[in-house]
Amino acid sequence: MPLWLEVLIRVVGVVAAFLILPLVVGQTEHKVMAHMQGRLGPMYAGAFHGWAQLIADGIKFVQKEDVTPAAADRAVFRLAPMVALVPYLLVLLVVPLGPGDLVGQNLDVGLFFVLAVLGVGVVAVLMSAWASANKYSLLGGLRGAAQLLGYELPMVLAAASVAMAAGTLSLTGIVEAWRPWWLLWQLPALLVFFVAGLAEIRRPPFDMPIADSELVFGYLTEYTGLRFAFFLLAEYVGIVVIAALTTTLFLGGWKGPLDGQLGWLWTLVKIFAVAFVVIWFRVAYPRLREDQLQRLCWLVLVPVSLGQLVLTAAVRVAL
């Protein structure tokens, strides 16, 4: 196969996953929340189980007027939704779907690349907050920046633990080195990474930057129409990315029965299982206060992740 054709197929596959998987997660969230909370509306938009709800939402966003505040920095205001999406697209390029060549680009330093790119997300939050020329947006943006910068530390430490255990920064190499008993040995790192990941994508109960009871809608207050839809898409892509990284680093990725033939299916099943837990957290837990959010980060997650890192180093030396 010519090199250009192989590159084209990989890029098209990653873009397709980038566009389709978040929509599936969004539709799933509608249905899961409807069942858990007894909501009737999302179950009737369409002939079967409310299948048309997602289409209705898309049409709604397209029809809404695209408004830019008069005092806003127009260029930065309009660019922020794109900046929120791009890091997740780049991450999906290096996350392996299955064994062999089922990955957009297999990097030897894939984990380092992923953690570096995810850190760009704070830029989109600050861009949208500052450019909106709105005090509620600015307060939400500052909350978001404090939250993202704080929770990056335990997230990196948890990822470093599993990378040390595997002896490689390659995401494919980590999956190949993974063993089932790691579910116990690396369980603290798994919990820290997952919770920090929720905070990084600002999902409930870590949604203080967009607390509607205090900040209208935080850094998203002035966004309407498709630009607001892009931020929502970034949220759902973030769920897919965090679920995919949790699966790759801690749940064995494609490993399972007949993984040589069905490895890609095991990866998708695990990703959607983790995504379901993310949705369940939104329904089950109330929003954390700002002091509770920071206390959880610095007094719980950081010490646990440091302890896990020390344990992993000791085991590696002993072995």
Phi and psi angles of residue 295, each rounded to the nearest 5 degrees, phi first = -65, -40
**Residue 271 tokens, joined:** 């990703």
Among the listed residues 144, 187, 129, the one whose alpha carbon sits nearest the alpha carbon of residue 312: 187
Phi and psi angles of residue 113, each rounded to the nearest 5 degrees, phi first = -60, -45
pLDDT score at 30: 82
The mean pLDDT value of the chain amounts to 86
Compute and round to an integer the Cα radius of gyration of the chain: 20
Q: Is the pLDDT of residue 7 over 80?
A: no
Question: Cis peptide leading into 205, omega within 30 of 0?
Answer: yes
| Tens-digit pLDDT profile for residues 219-248 | 888 888 888 888 888 889 999 999 999 999
pLDDT score at 299: 93
Q: For 255-274, what is the mean pLDDT?
A: 87
Q: Could you state, in order of their start, the residue ranges of all structural domains in the chain?
A: 3-318
Beta carbons of 146 and 293 less than 8 angstroms apart: no
Look-up of token digits 């995504």: 275
What is the CB neighbour count within 10 angstroms for residue 64?
14
What confidence category does residue 47 fall into, taking pLDDT thresholds of 50, 70 and 90?
A: low
Cut 0.85: pTM above it: yes
pLDDT score at 225: 81
